[in-house]
Structure 1
Amino acid sequence: MLTMPVAVVSFAALASLSTAHAGEGDWLVRARVIGVMPSDDAGSVEPAFPGGTVSVDDAWVPELDFTYFVTDRLGLELILATSPHDISGEGDLAALGTVADTMALPPTLTLQYHFNPAGKLRPYAGVGLNYTMFYNEDASSSLENAIGDTSISLDDSFGLALQAGVDVDLNETWFLNADVKYIDINTTAKLNTGGSINTVDVDLDPVVAGIGIGRRF
């Protein structure tokens, strides 16, 4: 049984343990390592390769995000990252291996609901919008050896984003984070070979999963 002085000291120590939860007007900054894993569904490369299609490879990259709390439970999160992706030939184009590569810049804004804002374990869910820009698109040597010098461009994409995650306190300032998102990304790739144009529609729709660390400000 605790003596009165020990009980008082123990209670005071427990009371002094604050969590890293954020309140209205606070900011959270997180750094994550994320896997961008397209669940791609592509059409045929038309008109020259009706039996050929493409797939988009996964990428693992660092990511930074910022969350501003509108209320204790509602937060706005801006997600910033860029990822490199190889594009591989499939079907009649499979023998070419990688046919192109590109960089994707998909800034995403979500509105989050935090279910347990005062706890040490704080799950949340979010919904928002994504705008993906593609840049540094290049045709591979295997593709150009097969069909000639080719320039490639991918249309930008605007779509829905869904999110779920959890923050887990390390101390009153720092916390661990795990997060998963589904992002609706659709694009059309245009291949220009000496003025001859081929196109392919690609639904990337990646799952983006990440783990990292965050800080409350």
Structure 2
Amino acid sequence: MIKKALFIALVSISSASFAGNFQVKIGASALVPSEDNNTLANGAVPHVKADTAYSFTPSIEYFFTNTNISTELLLATPFKHDVTSNGTKIASFKHLPPTLTVKYNFNNISQFTPYVGIGATAVLPFSEKTTGPIAGHDLDAKVAYGVAGQIGFNFKPKQSTHWGLFADVRYANVKSKLKLDGNNIGDLKVNPWVYTLGYSYHF
């Protein structure tokens, strides 16, 4: 009986310690492409850009014990972008941007915890559609990978044990190869800034 009680106590302590290393976040994000002058199809389709899109972006973060280091996996509901050439809509697509960053969380005596991070991102495009002058053609955007950076802060009110607010900005260097009717027509560079505001819950 004593051994059983000791085992249950150790499991409970371990579980509590493990849980205390996790934080979940739910935010709303604006994804703002910074590239606005792509040229496709050997110059036939100039000044191509993807527009700003909005989505909900949950994430889960793990804090390494006795360090200022954490790692965060950003997820999202799909972002939807229109694509224009010289201001005329020519296509649209949806995508998911899973992003993993390793973060350094700064110690301070206030309720704010600033952080910076660096990592990798992927763009998983789907539902590509053509419209306007290229309507009816088959557009295929390839999965793309890139480097991502992050800066932000978490704010925990004094009266809160677990809940907090956070805001951050991410930048990703990423582009997707495009095919039209099976033919390569070039890369769509997006290189977005992602602005996020939301709630955090630390277990």
The bucket for the TM-score relative to the shorter chain is 0.7 to 0.9
Using the TM superposition, give the Cα deviation of residue 117 of structure 1 relative to its aligned residue in structure 2, in angstroms.
6.8
Corresponding residue of 1:46: 41
Corresponding residue of 1:69: 63
1:180 aligns with 2:191: no
Give the TM-score taking structure 1 as reference length.
Answer: 0.77
Using the TM superposition, give the Cα deviation of residue 23 of structure 1 relative to its aligned residue in structure 2, in angstroms.
9.4
Other structure's SS at 1:172 match: coil
Match of 1:86 among 82, 88, 113: 82
Match of 1:111 among 82, 86, 102: 102
Give the TM-score taking structure 2 as reference length.
Answer: 0.82
Task: Kindly provide the CA deviation profile for residues 26-46 of structure 1, in whole angstroms up to 9, marking residues without a partner as x.
Answer: 111111111100001544222
Corresponding residue of 2:186: 200
Higher CA-based Rg: 1
> Which 5+ residue runs of structure 1 have no aligned equivalent?
1-21
Using the TM superposition, give the Cα deviation of residue 189 of structure 1 relative to its aligned residue in structure 2, in angstroms.
1.6
Corresponding residue of 2:133: 143
Corresponding residue of 1:7: none
Other structure's SS at 1:143 match: helix
Contact 2:37–2:46 (CA<8 Å) still a contact in 1?
no
The code of the aligned residue for 1:34 comes to S
Task: Kindly provide the CA deviation profile for residues 10-58 of structure 1, in whole angstroms up to 9, marking residues without a partner as x.
Answer: xxxxxxxxxxxx99951111111111000015442224x5363411000
Tell me how far apart the structure 2 counterparts of residues 122 and 208 of structure 1 sit (CA, whole Å). 20
Task: Kindly provide the CA deviation profile for residues 163-207 of structure 1, in whole angstroms up to 9, marking residues without a partner as x.
Answer: 001000131110000010001111122111xx7x36132211000
Using the TM superposition, give the Cα deviation of residue 61 of structure 1 relative to its aligned residue in structure 2, in angstroms.
1.1
Other structure's SS at 1:44 match: strand
Contact 1:53–1:200 (CA<8 Å) still a contact in 2?
no
Contact 2:53–2:79 (CA<8 Å) still a contact in 1?
yes
Using the TM superposition, give the Cα deviation of residue 110 of structure 1 relative to its aligned residue in structure 2, in angstroms.
0.3
Contact 1:159–1:184 (CA<8 Å) still a contact in 2?
yes
Corresponding residue of 1:56: 50
Task: Kindly provide the CA deviation profile for residues 48-72 of structure 1, in whole angstroms up to 9, marking residues without a partner as x.
Answer: x536341100011111010001134
What value does the CA root-mean-square deviation take over the aligned residues? 2.2
Task: Kindly provide the CA deviation profile for residues 139-158 of structure 1, in whole angstroms up to 9, marking residues without a partner as x.
Answer: 11x2345xxx2010112111
Other structure's SS at 1:124 match: strand
The code of the aligned residue for 1:70 comes to F
Identity across the alignment (%): 28
The code of the aligned residue for 1:68 comes to Y
* Number of residue pairs matched by the alignment: 183
Corresponding residue of 2:150: 163
